[in-house]
Amino acid sequence: MTRRPSNVHERYHAHVYFSAAEAAQAADLCTGAGARFGLPVGRVHLDPVGPHPVGSCQISFGQADFEALIPWLETHRGGLTVLVHGLTGQDLADHTEHAAWLGEPAPLNLAVFGG
């Protein structure tokens, strides 16, 4: 996937999903992306948080980073699933209608958005 999620905005999140056995791999991927592209990386959550159904870590990035980061993640994700979405202020739509996936989509906990 190298397309931008629809409703393009200037800020994005990439959430890397992992199982307990994949935690170190996911942490390495996130910190590697952060170091390579100079991007902020969030905490590694070993348990589900927010709408994310499994462990995850977040990479924050801008429109200028999109074209380089997303292909890099696709190449280096090693089978991990990555949810990519813009930040529009409409959290439910950002995580559903305006989202794209690297790997197998995962069912999100949409109840956190009141839906």
Model-level pTM? Answer: 0.90
Residue ranges per structural domain of the chain? 10-82
Q: What is the CATH number of domain 10-82?
A: 3.30.70.1240
Structure token digits, residue 87: 């930040």
Nearest to 16 by CA among 2, 1, 35, 29: 29
pLDDT digit string, tens, across residues 14-58: 999 999 999 999 999 999 999 999 999 999 999 999 999 999 999
β-pairing verdict for 41-45 and 81-86:
unpaired
DSSP 77: S
Q: Which residue(s) pair with 49 in the sheet? A: 52
